[in-house]
Structure 1
Amino acid sequence: MVIKGLKHDAVAYNTMIGGFCRIGEVGKAEEFFREMGLSGVESSCVTFEHLISGYCQIGDVDSALLLYKDMCRKGLRPEGLTVDVVIRGLCGEKRVSEALEFLGVAMRNHEIAPKRKSYEFLIKGLCQEGRTEEALKLQAEMVGKGFEPNSEIYSAFIDANTKQGNDELAGMLKKEMAETQMPKKQE
């Protein structure tokens, strides 16, 4: 494009930034992001979402959070998938309380409804920390939003109860999981 004298627009920049982020080359994506700003091309929600996902993918959740805050400060509204990516990143770093707080703020400020995956990451994280009461409350909220517990949710509760010595409850959960997760017989 440069050789032909064409100027990059937001779509061209976002395409390059997204491509570099997908392959884990976030440093190169940042170079295009800086060039984008210096050339007067306005960044969009898509620009930030690519960078946030890229940083979470390489395990730099703190940089992703800074970009998220910058995005919100500019008045851009994040998509639910971006919130999911940050929650997964925070939970992956065992920062579950921070992930819960992040979700609460996103729900209040941007009216974002959590996706199933966000609930899964949070419930698994809470169970790994032994915070099963909080996990149960979150599961109840999840079910209220129309998401039934799956084998990952059951496994998280089974593991947590086994670690806590609640073998009887873990056994009941295993039985319940087997009954609810069985494929329905076709009549």
Structure 2
Amino acid sequence: MAPLRRLCLCLLLALLPPPPAAPAPAPAPLRRPDWAACRVLSRELSRLLGAVREPYPVLEGLQLLEEEPQNWPPRIRCSDACDPLSLESNHTLCLQRIRQALQHYRDLLGSDIFQELPQPQLESTMEQLLRLVQDGHGRPPRHLLAPTDLWEQPVKRHLALKRLRSFSALIGRVFNHGAR
């Protein structure tokens, strides 16, 4: 009788509906940055960059190429989804790339290449903008860059400022679109 009872119980259990599954955790909502504040700070960044004057004007006319692309700052690429349509649906990847570049430029501004031409307002504005795009990642640590030879500092500073101006124009467009 026990085997028959066991068989009946197994058949009854097979006919019962499965127990309700535990609800899947809801995906964390995308935290929207304060686009308007980012737009204001990116405009301030561009304004401050426009006011920086090179102590060596001869560098302005030179087209300099760097041989070591691994030392270049993070660049925003088409695949980073910083275009208006992509920003509407998911801005995470774009902000991640902007955050990486801001960290890089902040570290450059604090390095020895700006020792001769310190930019405290520029650094402060960049730090504020970086805090706005952190998206819960905490405050990123500063990375110390390798010391630069004295003769290289003006050239590296010129390249950094040139790239930072270009980057600033691009993020200005991204934040302007996001603030609409």
What TM-score comes out, normalization by structure 2 length? 0.24
Q: Which has the larger radius of gyration?
A: 2
TM-score by length of 1: 0.23
Structure showing the higher helix proportion among its residues: 1
